[in-house]
Amino acid sequence: MPLLPVAEDVPRGARYGGAATEAVPEAPPVPEGAYRAARDTVAALGRLRAEGRGGDAHALICEAAARPAAWLPALADELNRSGAAADWATLLWEVASQPALRLAAAAEALVAAGRRDDGGQLLRQGSFRSADEIADAVLTLEEAGTPDRARALLAAFVQVRSAADTAACAVLDPARLVPMLLDAARDVSPARERDVVHALRVAGHLRG
């Protein structure tokens, strides 16, 4: 297979020592060659499985997961069209294990391509990382001019983690993160908002 690009679509804000990037369009065009590469990947997976080379097939999925975020919708289309939904699920898990900035970019690309369920699933799968890492990623995304990614990542974290974990997320920069956490909790449910408000008060981030 030809050499394919590796993801370089993650914005680098001041927290990562790089210049902020411009906001990504809501629905970026499909990169040239994305569908061809996706079809080649599907064909290669079929050959490897037919030869009983499951380990090599998994390695290929990991390589595919490292492609730029904008290439992922094409992979989703081709894998599901070929009946390889299980491989797509595995690929999502691989993307979810990547750094939070990359995760947010991938989820946004899937949602923009009409795969909202996949994007939401990816964010939920990736929310089981440390509160510090999520907070750092959220602030970096804000600084990089991609607030939609920041909000989506934080919303998934607030939805699936405990109120105490949510409060821990505020430690890095309470002045900026507490309002964002409250907005995210409010969007989940009134009960969730009450729990998060209580946890933030216990942690000393809100006055009683």
**Average pLDDT of the segment spanning 173-181:** 96
Return the pLDDT at 177: 97
- Long-range contacts from 94-97, C-beta under 8 angstroms, 24+ separation: 94/61, 94/62, 94/65, 95/65, 95/122, 95/126, 96/122, 96/125, 96/126, 97/126
d(CA 178, CA 69): 29
pLDDT of residue 26: 58
Burial level of 140, CB count in 10 A (0-12/13-18/19+)?
buried
- 119-147 mean pLDDT: 94
At 87-102, the pLDDT tens digits run: 999 999 999 999 999 9
Q: State residue 1's pLDDT score.
A: 42
**Per-residue pLDDT tens over the stretch 33-60:** 999 999 999 999 999 999 999 999 999 9
pLDDT band at 139 (very low <50, low <70, confident <90, very high): very high
The pLDDT tens digits of the residues spanning 159-176 come to 999 999 999 999 999 999
Give residues with Cβ within 8 angstroms of 158, minimum separation 6: 166, 181, 184, 185, 188, 192, 196
Q: Which residue has the tokens 């939805």?
A: 159
**Calpha distance 202→123 (Å, rounded):** 27
Residue 28 is predicted with a pLDDT of: 67
Pinpoint the alpha helices (H) of 66-115: 72-81, 85-96, 100-112
Per cent of the chain over pLDDT 90 is 83
